[in-house]
Amino acid sequence: MRALRITGGQVLAEGGLSEGEVTLRGGVVDSGAPADARLLDARGLLVLPGIVDIHGDAFERQFQPRPGVEFPTDLALEDTERQLLACGITTAFHGVTLSWEPGLRSADAWRAVLDGLGARRWTCDMRVHLRWEAYNLDALEMAIGDIAAGRVHLLAFNDHTPSILKKIADATTGAKYADRAGMALAPFRALAERIGGRAAEVPGALKRIGAAARAAGIPMASHDDDSIAVRDGFRAEGARICEFPMAEEVGQAAQAAGDFVAMGSPNVVRGKSHLGWASAARLAEAGVCNVLCSDYFYPCLLRAPFILAGRGVLDLAQAWALVSENAAAAGGLGDRGVIAPGKRGDLVLVDASGAAPRLVATVVGGAVAHLSAEGWRRVQ
């Protein structure tokens, strides 16, 4: 691979921005500057570490853009990768839900995603964040097997079954869940009630899958913690990521215990949670939220740090760490998230001169992976 030399930009390294250049060779940041290196003119641009997204499920829209309308796995993943790279995301943990529900979040869909990711080499480093639905007892052995086989890179404990049982009592809301599963509402209700009847088996299953994750050495998260006691319980199982705490005091307690607290970047961009829960911006400024993820909309990860920096409490280096260095650490990836010799050559070049940041180039593993029209004019 030909070396790449990025010159003239404001480089974010060692906690601050300064004018400089970055050389990438052999897939990593290098301290040399080969004479035959390809040149990328970054004058007027910010040179930032590539974005690491530890929880994103927007890919589901490529698989099923409308209820009952599905597309082949390879096509869906190709479109997803293009979106990721165009948003500056160089490492993506796909939040793949393995649920008892048929359809989009079923065991068949799970296998299709894992097989699709393994079928070819991708430019974006696309990984698997297993969103394990606690009541999906019939798929437990499969999930444990996939963890042991190295096909899962992060495990999250999810439990949406009790809330689904409440919501499907309403015909309008219930229809949304039934449509996603490709079922009529009445049989979906019957299925959900049968699954809900196995509550006594859930704690043991959570213990088993947690043990599998610990044995595999992968990070673990608990999702939508609604109390400090719930967070404490999952921490005891080895889950050191508190993902989307439902109340500020839960996030505060998690941070005090040394956990990563991850929240959605759409929360920052929209100025509020779509569910009316804790404010990601306020918790980030208080030092509680230390990781932002795309959640359900990839473009927010690029914009959210600039919004936070514009609020005046965090500077850009601190805000950008939420989507790069801190996110990489939460995902167990010590080889990326910063611009430093020997680290992965994952970078983004951003024009921050306008009202909103614009992505000019994405570099993955030392190679240019995405260029805007302006970016093409800057390559020599």
Query: 116 phi and psi, to 5 degrees?
Result: -65, -40
* Residue 36 banded pLDDT, cuts 50, 70, 90: confident
SS3 311: helix
Tell me: the pLDDT tens digits for 235-284?
999 999 999 999 999 999 999 999 999 999 999 999 877 667 678 999 99
Same domain for 321 and 359: no
- Residue 277 has a pLDDT of 67
Structural domain range at position 270 = 51-330
Q: How far apart are CA 375 and CA 379, in angstroms?
A: 7
Q: How far is CA 229 from the centre of its chain?
A: 25
Q: Which of 162, 150, 157 is nearest to 98 (CA)?
A: 157
For the chain, the domain total comes to 2
Domain harbouring 182, CATH code: 3.20.20.140
Same domain for 63 and 160: yes
Could you list the beta-strand ranges (E) of 59-153: 89-98, 125-133
Same domain for 276 and 150: yes
Same domain for 368 and 248: no
Same domain for 205 and 95: yes
Q: Has residue 33 got a pLDDT over 80?
A: no
Tell me: the pLDDT tens digits for 199-228?
999 999 999 999 999 999 999 999 999 999
Same domain for 355 and 270: no
What number of CA atoms fall less than 13 Å from residue 260's CA on the CB side? 27
- Residue 343 has a pLDDT of 98
Lowest-confidence pick of 46-55, 77-86, 177-186: 177-186
SS3 57: coil
Q: Has residue 30 got a pLDDT over 70?
A: yes
Q: Which amino acid is at 328?
A: A
- What integer is the mean pLDDT of 103-110? 94
Q: How far apart are CA 44 and CA 244, in angstroms?
A: 36
Contacts with 371 (C-beta within 8 Å, 6 or more apart), sequence order: 360, 361, 362, 379
Q: Taking all residues of the chain, what is their mean pLDDT, rounded to a whole number?
A: 95
Q: Which DSSP state fits 31?
A: S
* Beta-bridge mates of residue 157: 132, 222
Domain harbouring 11, CATH code: 2.30.40.10
